[in-house]
């Protein structure tokens, strides 16, 4: 589908939350001549979170951290994850055997279904953020595990706070980190 200007149009079901249907309400015609609407101050935006594997896996563990599980339940509507984290979880699940593996495979499928639309991938715009991030880290003499650097770039690209117990690998300039294991 193409817009009138030849750009690919975004189907309404792909609009960010709260924007579906708004495109049809925008005025047509020369927008330069339209009077500017008064600015309404925006409410502070809620923090959105990018969940790392160590946090996301807590409900699936036999002795999952109760405080982290409660935190996940409280913030579930503002949580995202990445395809990198899903790969890490799949690797973890595939390392198990027998009934435990089958149960974890079912859990992972349910998790992926529940997170539909909130699993962010490593795309071209994230790749540019990652490259800039890696140059800054290299110039500062810092290293970051490659998978964590991908997760950090996805979080930075989407202005998300990484939720992890692994703060030492993520605590870098420009990367927002929250440790729910410390909160309970």
In tens, the pLDDT along 141-166 reads 998 999 999 999 999 999 999 999 99
Express the helix, strand and coil content of the chain in percent, nearest 5 each. 50, 10, 40
Q: How many CB atoms lie within 10 A of CB 75?
A: 17
Are 89 and 57 contacting, i.e. CB atoms less than 8 angstroms apart? yes
43 assigned to some structural domain: no
Are 37 and 30 contacting, i.e. CB atoms less than 8 angstroms apart? no
12 assigned to some structural domain: no
Residue range of the domain that includes 100: 49-178
21 assigned to some structural domain: no
31 assigned to some structural domain: no
5 assigned to some structural domain: no
- pTM of this prediction? 0.74
Q: How many domains does the chain have?
A: 1
Residue count (the chain):
184
59 assigned to some structural domain: yes
4 assigned to some structural domain: no
CATH of the domain at 96: 3.40.50.1010
Q: What would the pLDDT profile of 52-107 be if each residue is shown by its tens digit? A: 999 999 999 999 999 999 999 999 999 999 999 999 999 999 999 999 999 999 99
Using DSSP's 3-state secondary structure scheme, residue 50 falls into: strand
How would you label 100-118 residue by residue, b for 16+ Cβ within 10 Å and e otherwise?
eeeebeeebeebeeebeeb
42 assigned to some structural domain: no
């Amino acid at each position: 589908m193409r817009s009138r200007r030849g750009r690919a149009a975004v189907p309404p079901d792909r609009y960010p939350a709260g924007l579906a249907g708004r495109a049809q309400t925008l005025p047509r015609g020369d927008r330069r001549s339209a009077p500017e609407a008064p600015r309404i101050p925006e409410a502070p935006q809620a923090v959105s979170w990018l969940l790392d594997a160590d946090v996301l896996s807590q409900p699936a563990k036999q002795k999952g951290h109760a405080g982290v599980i409660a935190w996940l339940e409280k913030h579930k509507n503002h949580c995202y994850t990445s395809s990198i984290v899903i790969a890490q979880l799949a690797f973890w699940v595939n390392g198990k055997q027998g009934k435990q593996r089958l149960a974890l495979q079912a859990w992972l499928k349910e998790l992926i279904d529940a997170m539909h639309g909130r699993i962010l991938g490593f795309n071209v715009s994230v790749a540019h953020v990652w490259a800039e991030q890696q140059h800054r880290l290299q110039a500062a003499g810092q290293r970051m595990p490659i998978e964590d650097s991908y997760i950090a770039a996805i979080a930075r690209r989407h202005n998300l706070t990484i939720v992890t117990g692994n703060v030492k690998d993520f605590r870098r300039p420009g990367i927002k980190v929250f440790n729910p294991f410390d909160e309970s």
